[in-house]
Amino acid sequence: MNLNLFNDVPDGLTRRARSFVRAHGAKADVRPVEGHRQWWLERDVPPAVIDRMAAYQQRWGGLVLPPASQYDGGPKYLDPDSPESDSAGWWFEAGMQRTAVPYSFMISPSGEFGIHADGWAPLHATIEGWVESLALAHHAYMWAKQVTKLVGDDIDGIELNGFEQVREVMGLADTWWRGPDSLVAFYTGEAEALGFPGGRLAMIYSGLDEWGLRGGVEPGDS
Helices (H), the chain: 15-24, 37-41, 47-60, 127-143, 189-194, 210-214
Give the pLDDT confidence score for residue 221 in this predicted structure.
64
Question: Rounded to whole angstroms, how far apart are CA atoms 196 and 78?
Answer: 27
Q: Is residue 102 part of a domain?
A: yes
Q: Is residue 197 part of a domain?
A: yes
Q: Is residue 103 part of a domain?
A: yes
Is residue 84 located within the same domain as residue 160?
A: no
Q: Is residue 219 part of a domain?
A: no
Domain total of the chain: 2
Query: What are the strands of the beta sheet with 3-5, ordered from one edge?
Result: 3-5, 26-28, 63-64
The alpha carbons of the chain give a radius of gyration, in whole angstroms, of: 18
Residue 86: which residues within 8 A CB-CB, separation 6 or more?
A: none
Residue 109: which residues within 8 A CB-CB, separation 6 or more?
A: 88, 89, 90, 91
Domain span at residue 154?
131-214
Q: Is residue 221 part of a domain?
A: no
Q: Is residue 222 part of a domain?
A: no
- Is this model's pTM higher than 0.85 or not? yes
Is residue 23 located within the same domain as residue 106?
A: yes
Block means of pLDDT (10 residues each) for the chain, 222 residues, are 73 94 94 95 97 97 96 97 95 96 97 95 98 98 98 96 97 98 98 94 97 82 58
- Taking CA 122 as the corner, what is the angle to CA 121 and CA 126, rounded to the nearest 5 degrees? 160
Is residue 59 located within the same domain as residue 74?
A: yes
- CB-based contact 178:213 (threshold 8 Å): yes
Q: Is residue 112 part of a domain?
A: yes
Is residue 9 located within the same domain as residue 116?
A: yes
Is residue 69 located within the same domain as residue 162?
A: no
Last residue of a domain, one of 127, 148, 175: 127
Last residue of a domain, one of 78, 110, 127: 127
Is residue 151 located within the same domain as residue 85?
A: no
Is residue 118 located within the same domain as residue 137?
A: no
Among candidate residues 175, 165, 163, the one with its CA nearest the CA of residue 123: 175
Last residue of a domain, one of 110, 127, 144: 127
Question: Rounded to whole angstroms, how far apart are CA atoms 68 and 26?
Answer: 15
Is residue 95 located within the same domain as residue 187?
A: no
Question: Rounded to whole angstroms, how far apart are CA atoms 121 and 54?
Answer: 24
Is residue 20 located within the same domain as residue 120?
A: yes
Give the pLDDT confidence score for residue 220 in this predicted structure.
58
Q: Is residue 220 part of a domain?
A: no
Question: Rounded to whole angstroms, how far apart are CA atoms 60 and 21?
Answer: 11
Is residue 82 located within the same domain as residue 177?
A: no
pLDDT digits (tens, 9 = 90+) for 157-183: 999 999 999 999 999 999 999 999 999
Is residue 154 located within the same domain as residue 123?
A: no
Is residue 26 located within the same domain as residue 122?
A: yes
